[in-house]
Amino acid sequence: MKPKLLRVLSGEAIEPPPIWIMRQAGRYLPEYRETRKQAGSFLDLCYNPELAAEVTLQPIRRFDLDAAILFSDILVVPDALGQKVRFEEGVGPLLEPLEETGLERLDAARAVDALKPVLGTVSRVRSGLDASKALIGFCGAPWTVATYMVAGRGTPDQGPARMKALREPDWFGQLIDLLVVASADYLVAQLRAGADAVMVFDSWAGVLDDEGFERWAIDPVRRIVAAVKAQVPGAPVIAFAKGAGARLGTYAARTGADGFGLDWTLPISAARRMVPERAALQGNLDPLRLIAGGRALDEGIDRVLGAAAGHPHIFNLGHGITPETPIAHVEQLVARVRQAR
């Protein structure tokens, strides 16, 4: 049987819709925390196919979700390119300053080879996943990954990367070009290793002005989608530009993706009018409603389902699940979506 998620990405409306949750494998699960202890560092976990596959499958076993998403991180790509990355507890990702690494030392040709352990995770998960469940591979969008590469860490508004792009657009364009090639190759390798679909996360697209959004959010993702589909014809691609807002229509028309993730600030009814009729929308419950639970959660779920009814839709949050989310609330979410008709 073709997984529900793939049917939706081909333009089919299914009720109830398939459901998965961004960051569904993570710190809110006790089994994840136990596995994490075995791995050592966070990057060690990302590069350990056995443990990363276990973590990927944990939420499927617990909640019977319709899709698994590869457990990894968007910053494995700069790490594979040659920019040193580490994760510090309580701080987050820290990257070697790009001025010290130098663009000339970044090598897109070596990236996929350096990411073979992650591809091993993909193969392990696919072999351990029921055929009715989809496996989603992913990468970060070039703009979002570049913001961390330039600043060396996350910042409140990614100002360092925005300023670099404005002051040195040619230099910044070279960095984006490297990331386009490495990201497309990485996604193709994931599909060939067993992923059924891939997703491109642009978590910081919303901080760009209109010109920047066109140049740094739309065009690089368009190039990645085209490269992936040229090498793996028919490969389903989901693109998530958080904060796209009123620019979603242009983003959908120009990138050529099959599905579009929505954050919780853009109503599904408005998004539906912006994208092609057969395009799938994914989202967009506010993650805080999942923490709140009870009536607030039920009302949010019903509102999303009602707005998406009759159209291709993948139920998800508008961003990632947070560590403080009660497991009982996730169970409530899955049960209510599955009961919808």
Q: Using the predicted structure, report yes or no on whether residue 309 has a pLDDT greater than 90.
A: yes
CA–CA separation, 187 and 326 (whole Å): 32
d(CA 34, CA 219): 41
80-101 pLDDT, tens per residue? 999 999 998 878 899 998 876 7
pLDDT mean across residues, the chain: 96
**Token match 């959660």: residue?**
297
Going by their DSSP bridges, the two strands 85-88 and 92-95 should be labelled as antiparallel
Q: Look at residue 341 and tell me whether its pLDDT is greater than 80.
A: no
Q: How far is 319 from 283, CA to CA, in rounded Å?
A: 8
The ranges assigned to domains in the chain are 4-339
Query: Is pLDDT of 123 > 90?
Result: yes
What architecture does CATH give domain 4-339? Answer: Alpha-Beta Barrel (3.20)
Q: Which residues carry out catalysis?
A: 23, 27, 36, 73, 148
What predicted TM-score, i.e. pTM, was given to this entire model? 0.97
Q: What is the distance between the alpha carbons of residues 112 and 188, in angstroms, rounded to a whole number?
A: 10
Instruction: Spell 107-124 as b/e; 16+ CB within 10 A means b.
Output: ebeebbebbeebbbbbbb
What SS3 state is found at 163?
helix
